Structure 1
Amino acid sequence: MRFLLPFFLLLSSLVVVLPGCEPKEDIVTTDSSAKLEFAEDTVKFDTVFASVGTVSKRLWVYNRNARAVRVAEISLQNRPGVNYSLLINGDATSTARDVEIRGKDSLLVLVRATIDPTPSDLKPFLVVDDLRFRTNGNEQLVKVLSYGQNAYFHDAERIRRSTTWRSDKPHVIYNSVLVERGATLTIEAGARIYSHAGSFLVVQGRLLCNPAFQPTGELKPEDRNFVRFQGDRREEQYREVPGQWGGIQFDTLSRDNVVRFTEIKNSNYGLFFFNRRNYQPHPNVLVENSLFSNISTAGSGFGIDGAALLGIYGDFVVRNTLITNCEQYALFGVGNVNQLDYVTVANYPRLLHDKPSVLLAPSIEINKMPTPPVAPRLTIRNSIVWGTNKDGNELAFANGELYPSTISISSSVLKTKEYDNTNPLGQRKNGNILNPTEGPAYLFKSTPIRFRGKTLDFQLDTLSPASNKGLPLPGLTRDLLNRSRNSSTPDVGAYERVNP
């Protein structure tokens, strides 16, 4: 034992003089590959905030690295509409800096949302913010999502059985909604549907939009019985901005869809058929007494241009309908069947457009692969196709000389260079008014060109060349607003002119 005692004294001395060894999990790494992981990619406040002020949600942040990391900044952007705050390590803040997380450890972040519970029609339904983490030069984002009003919320919903969307509260679509095959979605008169950016209503089954509404008298454009689709941004500056949400897409096997007394606005597409292999019979929809406006895919990254009605081997019957201010197409038909009766296409988008408002084609390339060539069919009666195309051509046919017998246009007002007495289709005018040199400025009551700054009104002016130029069509005796049409010489377009 006496020999061991000097050994222990020497060992003790060495321990005192040797430098301390820091555990690996406390050593901070600056390696840019040392990223964080999160328990979820979205902090979602799924409570309805009509009567709730402040709610907190937890977000676990994981450091899977062997060494510690120093998070240079944890912050919120705090966009308008809701007040978010953070609680990190017991400190309430909107921004935290130099937060260390030990190796193989985690950090709990509490996110608080304070929303004014006072009811307001202008308050956004969905308020999305970014929770930002900056670590070793990397920036990672976690979405923060809040609902701002009392509504039905459909988040990545799959409708597997026949369902009715009621009109007692608004409906909000987030991450799209799918109506599965065999199911029917019925939307009641007066329903309001607000869709988040990039979200679609995808119909594999059947859509019946406002199928039962029967007006008893003249309607106003703002009539509460119309079903309204639009983006979920309710602020005034978003009221007429195109491309805020996806649109309504119909699958190959979707049949006998009906859209009546409905407004669809501010989307990438209005109604969209995607049947690229031309399966028969085509999916189809009947559109009556409806309005489409502010449609555009500009800057969206999609591979197909936007259109209020896009039919890739999917068929449209459209009656008493207004289509306006589409930055690409009002109607783009590929190998499909289209019938337009008493339709007004009044295309005055924000930018001077270089595409025709109505375009037909036998085929289209999708991801550099052409679809099967099929002659499209188009019947236009008592309709208007007009706009500000820089080439003066609002009606065009790709390879139209190959299918002249499938095109029939009569008693319509057209702005077109292709459809006249010398065009390749070789058809007579059939009572059409082509490119009128007198009166085009007075075609409509109010456009962005005429009476700039006034509310747009695409009803016919008293001097309109479309007045009393139609032929009666059986069963179509009332206009978009349920007004009686002249029984012998109706007006052309969606609206019958009312004498002051």
Structure 2
Amino acid sequence: MRYLFPLLLVLSALATVLLPGCEPKEDLLTTDSSAKLEFSLDTVKFDTVFVSVGTVSKRLWVYNRNSRAVKVSEISLQSQPGVTYSLLVNGDKALTVRDVAIRGKDSLLVLVSATVDPTAGDAKPFLVVNDLRFRTNGNDQAVKVLSYGQNAYFHDNEVITKNTTWKADKPHVVYNSVLVDSLATLTIEAGARIYSHAGSFLVVRGRLLCNPTYRPTGPIKPDDPNIVRFQGDRREKQYADTPGQWGGLEFDASSQDNVLRFTEIKNSAFGLLIYNPFNRQPHPRVQVENAVLSNISTLNGGYNLEGAALLGISGDFVVRNTLITNCEQYAVFGVQGSQYQLDYCTLANYLQNNRQTPSVLLAPAIEINGKQRPPAAPRLTVRNSILWGTIRDGDELEFVDGEQYAGNISIRNSILKTKKYDNAGVLGQQKNGNIINPDEFERPLFKSSPVRFRGTKLNFQLDTLSPASNKGLPLPGITTDLLNLSRDPNTPDIGAYERVNP
């Protein structure tokens, strides 16, 4: 009897191998014409694709809901004038894939990518439509593929050596950075769109004039078509507000008299970086008016520096009517003798990433790539501005060794989030019309912030009850706000936006 049980196991194994009809049901192939496929999408949509630049791959899941396997005799997507496609199925890259089996109750992943070819015409997006076809047991099924293409100017590792104008008739796409040489001026027309690839910078050794001639005749909206916009080249919806997608705008030691007006810079490692590590005189200078800088973040940015919307290393900024929001490290970072003047600015740092760095940091010296640079006292002048954010258990202001240059810090008629510099010593700011820590962190009562209205679109205009209302000091020459609304000539509001009475 002791040999009977092992014998039964052997006979059972042989029966499994030799007897017909024991193949798992889901592996048995059906040729029934009613066995159709189902799809995760009825349309594969590509967002606007710059011509000659391939897209990311889009995923399409193909489901076999039948209990038995089916053989897809052909999967095909034919290129046509205007667009070139590519399919990836089970590791095979082709436009036509044949004899692909899908087990019963199983699925197949198809990756689709597209490159839109240059066409004659203007910058308006154009639509290319095609069918991704599946033939199974005599059945033809199709999923629509939509590709929106757009012609563009391409700047790949370009050096600008003479005065140049970037027009607004087509988008500009930057690869491997663009350098404006020391004797050249780059002028960017009103309404231009600049899309930069990962790691790319616009480096200015000469001069940059961004939107220099646009003069709106009345109030404008945030989506005004005349605003110059810089952002990354990823056009998919999920990248709309993702920080750190490209480098930013860098101004080197020889750069002077730069002006950016009615400009938006978003999703970069640095917004505006002045890089003058040897403290060359005169400092590079950038004037910013009616601008928005948002979603700024980096871990190194090529210089082992943390990201900032305005980062000055021995550089000077004059900034008016400007919103800086949602920076993962700093909004303003000034070191080694940098000088900042902020008038009617709103720094609203609400990015939800457990940020530990203050929105505003000043320091005499900085270490770059492991080398300490010689110290020089920075300077900060702030008028009619909001310096705010949601840093946990800390200040939004930090003046490293600030007692040494306290006379270089002037903040007036502004709303500040700080306990360290409330009224302590020479750096105390509970003076000059400043409002320190109004109520709790929900203040200064913007119309819509992540704290007050989670999940809604951010709006940093002032709520009716905002403590910033009518607390400003009139400043000569600044009579309108970020959106070109007239400011109250006697008691203007604090921040980039003048409150509109209902």
What TM-score, normalized to structure 2?
Answer: 0.72
- Shift of residue 121 of structure 1? 5.2
* Partner Cα separation in structure 1 for residue 422 and residue 328 of structure 2: 25
User: Which stretch shows the higher mean deviation, 322-331 or 391-400?
Assistant: 391-400
Unpaired runs of at least 5, structure 1: 1-45, 53-80, 96-111, 124-146
User: Which stretch shows the higher mean deviation, 266-275 or 442-451?
Assistant: 442-451
Instruction: Give the match for residue 425 of structure 1.
Output: 427
What is the correspondence of 1:56-455 to structure 2 with a 5 Å cutoff? 83-84=85-86, 115=116, 149-298=150-299, 302-334=303-335, 335-426=337-428, 429-437=431-439, 440-441=442-443, 443-455=445-457
Contact 1:297 1:305 in 2 (8 A): yes
Matching residue's letter, 1:420: D
* Partner Cα separation in structure 2 for residue 302 and residue 428 of structure 1: 37
What is the correspondence of 1:478-497 to structure 2 with a 5 Å cutoff? 478-497=480-499
Structure 1 position 458 matched with structure 2 position 460? yes
- Shift of residue 442 of structure 1? 5.4
C-alpha RMSD of the superposition: 2.9
* Partner Cα separation in structure 2 for residue 318 and residue 482 of structure 1: 15
- Residues 115 and 436 from structure 1, CA distance in 2 versus in 1: closer, same or farther, beyond 3 angstroms? same
* Partner Cα separation in structure 1 for residue 191 and residue 409 of structure 2: 37
- Residues 370 and 83 from structure 1, CA distance in 2 versus in 1: closer, same or farther, beyond 3 angstroms? same
List per-residue Cα deviations over 1:186-229 (Å, max 9, x = no partner).
00000000000000000011000000000100000110110000
* Partner Cα separation in structure 2 for residue 414 and residue 113 of structure 1: 49
- Shift of residue 350 of structure 1? 2.9
Instruction: Give the match for residue 105 of structure 1.
Output: none
Partner SS, residue 373 of structure 1? coil
* Partner Cα separation in structure 2 for residue 304 and residue 213 of structure 1: 34
Partner SS, residue 290 of structure 1? strand
- Residues 499 and 439 from structure 1, CA distance in 2 versus in 1: closer, same or farther, beyond 3 angstroms? farther
* Partner Cα separation in structure 1 for residue 84 and residue 395 of structure 2: 47
Partner SS, residue 325 of structure 1? strand
Contact 2:126 2:149 in 1 (8 A): no
Matching residue's letter, 1:230: Q
Contact 1:248 1:271 in 2 (8 A): yes
- Residues 384 and 120 from structure 1, CA distance in 2 versus in 1: closer, same or farther, beyond 3 angstroms? same
Contact 2:320 2:345 in 1 (8 A): yes
- Shift of residue 418 of structure 1? 2.7
- Shift of residue 420 of structure 1? 1.7
- Residues 162 and 419 from structure 1, CA distance in 2 versus in 1: closer, same or farther, beyond 3 angstroms? same
- Residues 179 and 360 from structure 1, CA distance in 2 versus in 1: closer, same or farther, beyond 3 angstroms? same
Contact 1:198 1:246 in 2 (8 A): yes
Size of the aligned set, in residue pairs, is: 385
Contact 2:174 2:200 in 1 (8 A): yes
List per-residue Cα deviations over 1:284-325 (Å, max 9, x = no partner).
010000000000004767500000000000100000000000
- Shift of residue 155 of structure 1? 0.6
* Partner Cα separation in structure 1 for residue 381 and residue 485 of structure 2: 24
- Shift of residue 117 of structure 1? 8.4
- Shift of residue 94 of structure 1? 8.9
- Shift of residue 115 of structure 1? 3.8
- Residues 94 and 357 from structure 1, CA distance in 2 versus in 1: closer, same or farther, beyond 3 angstroms? farther
Contact 1:266 1:295 in 2 (8 A): yes
* Partner Cα separation in structure 1 for residue 207 and residue 260 of structure 2: 11
Contact 1:380 1:412 in 2 (8 A): yes
Contact 2:411 2:429 in 1 (8 A): no
Contact 1:201 1:249 in 2 (8 A): yes
- Shift of residue 148 of structure 1? 5.2
Matching residue's letter, 2:200: S
Partner SS, residue 403 of structure 1? helix
Partner SS, residue 209 of structure 2? strand
Matching residue's letter, 1:260: R
* Partner Cα separation in structure 2 for residue 387 and residue 209 of structure 1: 29
List per-residue Cα deviations over 1:314-370 (Å, max 9, x = no partner).
100000000000000000001211000000000011312100001111010112211
* Partner Cα separation in structure 2 for residue 218 and residue 374 of structure 1: 41
Unpaired runs of at least 5, structure 2: 1-48, 55-82, 98-112, 128-147
What TM-score, normalized to structure 1?
Answer: 0.72
Contact 1:268 1:297 in 2 (8 A): yes
Contact 1:180 1:205 in 2 (8 A): yes
Instruction: Give the match for residue 501 of structure 2.
Output: 499
Matching residue's letter, 1:449: V
Contact 2:285 2:315 in 1 (8 A): yes
Contact 1:202 1:248 in 2 (8 A): yes
Displaced runs of 4 or more, over 6 A: 116-120
- Residues 168 and 242 from structure 1, CA distance in 2 versus in 1: closer, same or farther, beyond 3 angstroms? same
Partner SS, residue 321 of structure 1? strand
* Partner Cα separation in structure 2 for residue 48 and residue 93 of structure 1: 20
- Shift of residue 389 of structure 1? 0.8
* Partner Cα separation in structure 2 for residue 115 and residue 426 of structure 1: 59
- Residues 463 and 114 from structure 1, CA distance in 2 versus in 1: closer, same or farther, beyond 3 angstroms? closer
List per-residue Cα deviations over 1:418-454 (Å, max 9, x = no partner).
3221145256511100111268445200011111111
Q: Percent identity?
A: 66
Contact 1:179 1:204 in 2 (8 A): yes
- Residues 368 and 332 from structure 1, CA distance in 2 versus in 1: closer, same or farther, beyond 3 angstroms? same
- Residues 427 and 160 from structure 1, CA distance in 2 versus in 1: closer, same or farther, beyond 3 angstroms? same
Contact 1:171 1:193 in 2 (8 A): yes
